Amino acid sequence: MKKLGLKYFIPALLLVLGIWLMTGFYTLSTDGGEQAVILRFGRHVRTVEEAGLKWHLPYPIEKAEIVKCDVIRSLELGYRTQQTGGHQTTYAAVPEESLMITGDENLVHTESVIQYRIKNVADYLFRVRQAPETLKIAAESSVRRVVANHELDHVLTDQKDAIQNEIREDLQAICDEYGLGVEIIKVALQDVYAPDEVADAFTDVIKAREDMNRYINEAQKQANEIVPAAEAKRQEILNEANAYKEKRIAEAKGDVENFRQVLARYSLGPEVTRTRMYLETMQEVLPKAKIYIMKDGGEMMKFMPLDSGTQGSSTGN
Contact 112, 188 (CB under 8 A): yes
Contact 175, 187 (CB under 8 A): no
Q: What does each C-alpha distance from 80 to 75, 84, 89 come to in angstroms?
A: 9, 13, 10
Per residue in 150-172, pLDDT (tens digit) is 888 788 777 888 999 999 999 99
Residue 55 three-state SS: strand
Q: What does each C-alpha distance from 265 to 251, 281, 300 come to in angstroms?
A: 21, 17, 28
Quick check: 36 pLDDT over 90?
no
Strand 34-40, strand 182-193: pairing = unpaired
Contacts of 240 (CB under 8 A, 6+ apart): none
Contacts of 141 (CB under 8 A, 6+ apart): 174
Give the pLDDT score at 310. 44
* 52 or 61: which leads in pLDDT: 61
Give the pLDDT score at 313. 41
